[in-house]
Amino acid sequence: MIRNFKRTAAIFGLVAATSTALVACNETSGSTDGDAVADGNGDLGGTLVGEGASSQQNAMDVFGIAFQEAYPNATLSYTPSGSGAGIESFINGTAMFAGSDSPLKKDQPEKAKERCGGNDAWHLPSVIGPVAIAYNLPGSEGLNLSVDTVAKIFKGEITKWDDAAIKAENEGVDLPSTDINVVYRSDESGTSANFQKFLAAATGAWDGEGKQFPQEVGAGANGSSGVATEVSSIEGAITYVEAGFAKDLGLGIANIDFGNGPVELNDDSVGKALDNLAFEDTGSEHNMVVDADALFASDGEGSYPLILTTYNIVCSAGYDEETSKLVKAFFTTVLDNQNDDLAARGFIPVSGGHADRLKAAIDAVA
């Protein structure tokens, strides 16, 4: 069964800020996930440990502040080490939840089930934001690029900014003969996995897949902030990165032609894509995995479907009692803070039916 939901929120700029550390014990080895305790007033105390996608680190900064305000004795420790590292830490029990820009693959669901004491892990798509094709080319802001041209650039088939293909898509723009310097994520990343899936679905001419981006063309940098910073320091550079990071550093953001003319990345264009967002049938209404293939292949007029859905992966059951309380309290706080503070950091606050689905899943965590 595929379910649709509509979103009613806006995208704004990014204020980058977060700094976290990783501490925890493995519940599966007989110790607790954390140091959570309930005080006499029923409020929680202790440290909730999460690790994973750097794409959501700024959202986690918002949520962490709100969490500590709601529970003065509780703290969020989120390490933005990348989706691959986050999933590994969740599976081996050193993190209570994982942030990932792509769902669990291959044997990971079974490993996660073992980590959760024989219970399934659930994907909670609670942080959503668009991905920008960001570049550094002074005097050429707002360039138009078709999806085919984007794919050719990242494959190394187009190497100059004044290539005939780019000039044809930007009539009247005086493009320099500057070399195109591709910058990709060097770490395993859900952003890379989604970007490659997008290129394959949108063009039919991309062979790469998975969290490791091909390294034959260009140079790598670690994390979302890393690739954005690298591009900002190299004239002619280009990358794929969450929009907030690109906006924060003042990088150019391409208007992408998905098949019905160039589309600017803004709240309206992303909203049109999200209006038709759908979920795969996972066997549980609480385990919400976005149908990314359908999303990335869409080309509705005025729609910007290059959207990154960051999952927070939790155990459906199997936590010790204190950790379960921490997890439920934190993600309830997340839902309570889908607001302008979150939007100001480049994310789309969830609302309506999707927020209701997330609440039902959080309430069902045992």
Query: Residue 238: how many CB atoms within 10 A of its CB?
Result: 27
Say whether both 122 and 237 belong to one domain: no
CB 340 within 8 A of CB 320: no
Q: Is residue 241 part of a domain?
A: yes
pLDDT (0 to 100) of residue 6? 33
Q: Is residue 258 part of a domain?
A: yes
pLDDT (0 to 100) of residue 222? 94
Q: Is 204 exposed, middle or buried (0-12, 13-18, 19+ CB in 10 A)?
A: exposed
CB 9 within 8 A of CB 348: yes
The residue from 270, 286, 321 where one domain ends is 270
Say whether both 121 and 138 belong to one domain: no
pLDDT (0 to 100) of residue 266? 85
Q: Is residue 275 part of a domain?
A: no
Q: Is residue 182 part of a domain?
A: yes
Say whether both 35 and 152 belong to one domain: no
Q: Is residue 125 part of a domain?
A: yes
Q: Return the axis-axis angle of helices 147-155 and 190-203, rounded to nearest 10°.
A: 120
Region for residue 250 given its phi and psi (left: phi exceeds 0; alpha: psi -120 to 50; beta: otherwise): left
| Model pTM score | 0.71
Say whether both 148 and 261 belong to one domain: yes
Say whether both 249 and 339 belong to one domain: no
Running along the chain, 366 residues long, what does each successive block of 10 average in pLDDT? 34 34 35 43 81 92 96 96 94 97 93 98 92 95 96 98 98 96 93 93 93 96 95 98 90 97 89 80 94 91 92 98 96 95 84 86 97
Of residues 55, 62, 99, the one with CA closest to residue 343 = 62
pLDDT (0 to 100) of residue 2? 33
The residue from 251, 270, 289 where one domain ends is 270
pLDDT (0 to 100) of residue 44? 84
pLDDT (0 to 100) of residue 276? 73
> What's the CATH code of the domain at 137?
3.40.190.10
Q: What is the identity of the amino acid at 328?
A: K
Q: Is 106 exposed, middle or buried (0-12, 13-18, 19+ CB in 10 A)?
A: exposed
Say whether both 355 and 232 belong to one domain: no
**Would you state the structure tokens that stand for residue 290, as one six-digit string?**
């976005």
Say whether both 119 and 146 belong to one domain: no
pLDDT (0 to 100) of residue 20? 36
How many domains does the structure of the chain reveal?
2
The residue from 270, 299, 319 where one domain ends is 270
Cα 7–Cα 11–Cα 17 angle in degrees, nearest 5: 125
Say whether both 242 and 151 belong to one domain: yes
* CA dihedral of 312, 132, 152, 217, whole degrees rounded to 10: -70
Q: Is residue 282 part of a domain?
A: no
Say whether both 95 and 178 belong to one domain: no
Q: Is residue 291 part of a domain?
A: no
Q: Domain range for residue 226?
A: 131-270
Q: How many CA atoms lie within 13 A of 308 on its CB side?
A: 33
Say whether both 262 and 316 belong to one domain: no
Phi, psi at residue 143, to the nearest 5°? Answer: -70, 150
Query: Residue 261: how many CB atoms within 10 A of its CB?
Result: 13
Say whether both 123 and 135 belong to one domain: no
Q: Is residue 337 part of a domain?
A: yes
Say whether both 125 and 160 belong to one domain: no
